[in-house]
Amino acid sequence: MRKSSQEEAIGLFSTQSIIIFMLSFGLLLVCALWPVYNGYVSDAALLRMERVMSVLASPVLRIEDFRLLYPHFSVVLLLPFGYMPEIIKSVAPYIVSSFFGAVLLALWNVHLQAKHYPLFDRMVLVLLVAVHPFFLWGVTSGMQGGLSLMMFYGVYLGSVRVIKEADARAFIMLAAAFGAYFFVDERAFFIYFAFLPLLPLIAPPSMLRSSPASLYLIVSMPLLLSVLAWVVYLTFVLSEGAIHFMNAPGEPFRGAWHLMAEVDWLRDYGGTFFQPLIVSLIVAVIAYPVVGWLIWRSRRHAKLARDIEALPLHLSVAVAMATTTYFLAHPADMLYLMAGGVMAAIVLIPREDKLHRRELFLAFLLSAVGGLFCLFWKPTVDMQRWTQAWQGEKLGEYFPGDVELGKWLDANRAPTLIDEHAAYRAIVARGDAYELVLSSTKEFKRALQSDLLTVEQVVVRDPLYNHRDRTGYGNEVFSERLPDSITWHFSDLYRDGMRGYRLVYDDAHWRVYRRTDDAKVDSLDMFPEASLAK
Amino acid sequence: MSATTAGNSVPKLMVGELLISRGLLTQAQLDEALVLQKKWGTRIGDIVLAKGWIKPLDFYSALAFYYQKPFVDMLKEPPDVILHEKDDLAAYNMHQFMPWRITDDDNPKVIIATSNPNEQAMDLARQRFGDNVDFVITSKFDILWQLQHHHDEYFTHNAIRKLAEQMPEHSASVVITKPQLIFVATVITLVLIVATVWPMATFVGMNLAIAGLLLMTTLARLTLTWVGSDRHIDIKVTDHEVKLLKDEDLPVYTVLMPMYKEEAILPFLAKAMRELDYPLSKLDIKLVLEQDDEGTVNAAKALGLEAFFEIIRVPTSFPKTKPKACNYALNFARGKFITIYDGEDRPEPDQLKKVIIAFSGMAENVACVQARLNYFNSTENWLTRMFTLEYSLWFDFFLPGLEALKIPIPLGGTSNHFKAELLLQFDGWDPYNVAEDADLGVRFTQCGYRVGIVNSTTYEEACNHVPTWIRQRSRWIKGYMQAYLVHMRAPIELYRSIGSVGFWGFQFFFLGAFFSYLVAPFLYGTFVIWILGGAELLDPLFPPLVLLISLFNLTLGNGSLVYMLMVGAFKRQNYMLIPYALTVPYYWLLMSIAAYKALSQLIFNPFYWEKTTHGISTHLETPAAGDQPAAAH
């Protein structure tokens, strides 16, 4: 029996791996689409799909049309879905994330197979990891966490290689993983900074004694390069400036900063460090008691135990940092990555015998229960909607005003000036971005630099629309309107309209003005030479 | 021994006892020599000479007494050259003999002068001259000197022209062939025509081509760094394996040490060679000196070096290059393996043993094993720091990566160890190529042989002076250009012989190297314009795709090159050098200056050898008195 199991093909493309991938992918897809079927919509997923539509609508495929303000790679992966039927396109972010989640599970299966875990045990383990509520939240809720989990799995394996081998490749692996992480997940900063104090735990003491600075430089350089490259590129292509991606409200690199008023976690702990650190550690222990079991099982392998101990600490420090900067809406948004660390730890500790494997299964089951409990504690609006949809509750329309605008724009197609930062939900509801003049285009910038609009239609949002409360750093909470960039320039446009334009749409907080035929003549009058030439 | 001494009465006394009885050796020295004889498996005579306990003249006189034969000083009684056969010159050198004279009595006899009476020499003599052959004893230095003195024209011709005559397609004696010239002229003409009709599109196209090539070069280097960082590639020979090696099983090892006007470095060199963990009596060290360099020749003589050092005087001829000198010295090599060290080199003592173990564990078609190079004066100044960073990356990551991916390896200037037989088959180095080592590495790969890398380091002296550095670097880059032109004479043939990975690796590693140095000033200029004039000024030249690639090169590309340098220093545990990697753009500027000098020389003076001055580092330690040979005392 053992012989036959040894003879099984080991590899990501072996038949067994492919079957496990297919099963995992199917399971995760069902878990992702069931809430969507019940009306759940992820705002992060909508934002990404709007980017894909904008890029595809551009006459030339330009990298700057990605808007650059969030990790690119997740958007690049969505591009092919832009050409697919509407029904698939609308759920593309969920499909992509589930795909990478399944790849990770299949890869883990390969690693377990190499450790001679029997097929049944592997399947049980894969299932137990996949059904953990934090894992499901990260991978299937539209956060695009599948890819991030894969990266974290790589970081964790890399850190263990540093412990075991401490060769140049180990450090390159770890550093490169951080460098690439920046393009995959906006949480990379926090994961990296939280890792730095833990580096002495895993690096060889002799190396630390010789030159700790060089150790940090080697591990940090690729991430610094990624950020530098990003900033230089943004300087080149963005009129808003190089660090716009760091200070633009509502952009992914600012996380939940603009949602402060409605997020319990940030209201209670935002701007502080030690409180969220302790709370996060408690959440980690409740949600992943399996980590405790792993530490106990690896107690005879001091270095490995050290790395496993560092896992909850690492992510809790990351949670605390992200809470201090008002980035994180809920600890689960970061702690779901623990699944990657747990998977790596199981691969790295000696293979468990049958008795201890049962304990492992039990620890995983307990973790799932603990995770579920934590998910219901101080949930965000998205989390509430997601869990409600999971329970089969039919949810109401998500931002109906935006959806109505999108449908109207679809029915009244014409070159339209629109700020996609404000209207991304409407653009997704429209189905594509063809003929829309978006803020990344030269036409849009030119329009905002002149006093007179020439575009066929213009969409403007009510400047008094209280999108969401925002807060500054510190304890003072204040409310601020978030006008779109068209209103910034034409402050009275929403209320008074513009000469030569008539109101054609007025619903919820949106108005659309369309150019009149007289205005076309007027605009020609402004350029007599041009009109004569015509 | 019986054959050579047949008919001669040999005293029952052993050689060692004879030397004691003559007062040439002490009993303690003999006892030590006997222990070494058992360990090394060589003769007492070789040991005492190698140890420098006895002067060669005294030893060979005693040897003559031992064999009851006359001792001949061939400087005073030169050989009759008419007896010498060109085809036998290698055998004369290998077996340390040469036909000396024919007796003019009734029964003419050919007399062989030998420093090493042995079967092979006598057999060869009998084959040539019949059974009536006798021998006299002479010094091995006399044989060497007479061979050089009487046959220097032949050896010189071989050193210079053999490759060009036998494998002209691999010789850089013609810098650029006619088809290559036509190709280059056609490309330039076409570019000019297109640029006249569509100037902006042409510039954008050229910009894209440059950016693309730089991108591919960077990616190739990243790949090599990644592959080369695998520790399983890295370590080939362990200390335990070295310990298991028996000295008696070791073959004779030839070390070529070409030098020019480097008398100051000689004591250091001698010390480094004595410190090698290798039986001294199995070392065949050739100090390859130019005949017109009297200073170094006299200094070497004055040092009274042990007998395993031999001076090879290379006659003055054109081209005056290191490969020509090495080719010349190759005629006198007696080892099974051959290596080259520069005068200031400090190889790790067990390097030769590691190489032998590496060869035994590698495939039969491995023709050469390259040891790693690094610098002992890395902290002397900024330049030496940068040079060390560069070398650490080159030898600790790139070369092992090239080896693993089977891409032609440009050998380093020193510490490359060859199977002597194969090196001779390849006609040695190309004397017209000023980076002959890099060229030879490609030639090996092209002919189906491979180059291995061994985990042993030779520490050299890094140039600490910018003009000297530029001279040295311009020579290397010119050599790379020569090698590229030579091996790209038949690109399809090259592709077939080394495969796609090897071919593209060769393009990005050779062409990419000097090309990036040549275009660097333009890129720096563009960067300055961008900083001073803003992005809009350059917009027409940088459409989206070109902009994306160029910015990748500027940021991630250059950044990753900086990072690779850091990793190189990190692996070498030269932690203090790591921050200096950030200053590499200034180093690249120096590279560009050297590259333009190289290009200019390639056109106007292709075979000129820019000599690097060694022995100027303040980090050189003066050898202690104890480091001098016993005979010199």
CA distance B542 to chain A (A): 11
Partners of residue B559 in chain A, C-beta under 8 Å:
221, 225, 228-229
DSSP H or E run through B225 = helix B199-228
Tokens of A272: 């502080």
Partners of residue A214 in chain B, C-beta under 8 Å:
566, 569-570, 575, 578
For residue B525, pLDDT over 50 is answered with: yes
| A226 close contact with B: CB closer than 8 A | yes
B89 and B231 fall within a common domain: no
Q: pLDDT tens for residues B292-321?
A: 999 999 999 888 888 899 999 999 988 888
Range from A209-218, A424-433, A458-467, A493-502 carrying the lowest mean pLDDT? A458-467
B128 and B229 fall within a common domain: no
Q: What pLDDT shows up at residue A474?
A: 34
B187 and B81 fall within a common domain: no
Q: Is residue B290 part of a domain?
A: no
Q: What pLDDT shows up at residue B493?
A: 92
B572 and B452 fall within a common domain: yes
Cα–Cα distance between B212 and B200 in angstroms, integer?
Answer: 18
Range from A156-170, B269-283, B286-300, B589-603 carrying the lowest mean pLDDT? A156-170
Q: What pLDDT shows up at residue B608?
A: 87
Q: What pLDDT shows up at residue B10?
A: 53
Question: Residues B271-289: what's their mean pLDDT?
Answer: 93
B68 and B185 fall within a common domain: no
Partners of residue B573 in chain A, C-beta under 8 Å:
210
Q: Is residue B163 part of a domain?
A: no
CA distance A237 to chain B (A): 9
For residue A55, pLDDT over 90 is answered with: no
Q: pLDDT tens for residues B168-223?
A: 889 999 999 999 999 999 999 999 999 999 999 999 999 999 999 999 999 999 99
For residue A231, pLDDT over 80 is answered with: no
Range from A112-121, A480-489, B82-91 carrying the lowest mean pLDDT? A480-489
Q: Is residue B294 part of a domain?
A: no
Q: Helix and strand tally (H, E) in chain A?
A: 30, 7
Q: Is residue B572 part of a domain?
A: yes
**At B621, is the pLDDT very low, low, confident or very high (cuts 50, 70, 90)?**
low
Specify the residue for token string 């011709």: B157
CA distance A162 to chain B (A): 13
**At A236, is the pLDDT very low, low, confident or very high (cuts 50, 70, 90)?**
low
Q: How many domains does chain B have?
A: 2
Partners of residue A210 in chain B, C-beta under 8 Å:
573, 575
Dihedrals φ, ψ of A468, to 5°?
Answer: -155, 150
B61 and B146 fall within a common domain: yes
User: Range of B105's domain?
Assistant: 2-151
| A63 close contact with B: CB closer than 8 A | yes
Which class for B76: exposed (0-12), middle (13-18), buried (19 or more C-beta within 10 A)? exposed
A358 or B359: whose pLDDT is higher? B359
Q: Is residue B86 part of a domain?
A: yes
- Of B116, B151, B186, the residue at which a domain comes to its end is B151
Strands of B260-409, DSSP E? 283-290, 309-314, 337-340, 346-347, 366-375
Q: What pLDDT shows up at residue B338?
A: 96
Cα–Cα distance between A419 and A63 in angstroms, integer?
Answer: 19
- Give me the residues of B, 521-540, that contact A with CB < 8 A: 535
Dihedrals φ, ψ of B132, to 5°?
Answer: -85, 75
A225 with B559: Cβ contact below 8 A: yes
**Category of A11 on φ-ψ map: left (φ > 0), alpha (ψ -120 to 50) or beta:** left
**Complex ipTM:** 0.76
Q: Is residue B573 part of a domain?
A: yes
B394 and B502 fall within a common domain: yes
Cα–Cα distance between B354 and B237 in angstroms, integer?
Answer: 6
B428 and B528 fall within a common domain: yes
B480 and B606 fall within a common domain: yes
Q: What pLDDT shows up at residue A234?
A: 66
B119 and B240 fall within a common domain: no
Cα–Cα distance between B574 and A210 in angstroms, integer?
Answer: 10
- Please count the residue pairs, one from chain A and one from chain B, whose beta carbons lie less than 8 angstroms apart: 75
B521 and B418 fall within a common domain: yes
With pLDDT > 70 as the criterion, what percentage of chain B qualifies? Answer: 94
For residue B6, pLDDT over 60 is answered with: no
Q: Is residue B310 part of a domain?
A: no
B537 and B407 fall within a common domain: yes
Q: Is residue B574 part of a domain?
A: yes
A27 or A475: whose pLDDT is higher? A27
Q: What pLDDT shows up at residue A470?
A: 36
Question: Residues A50-70: what's their mean pLDDT?
Answer: 67
**Does residue A349 sit in helix, strand or coil?**
coil
Handedness of CA A247, A249, A255, A259 (dihedral sign): positive
**Domain boundaries defined on chain A:** 2-390, 400-533
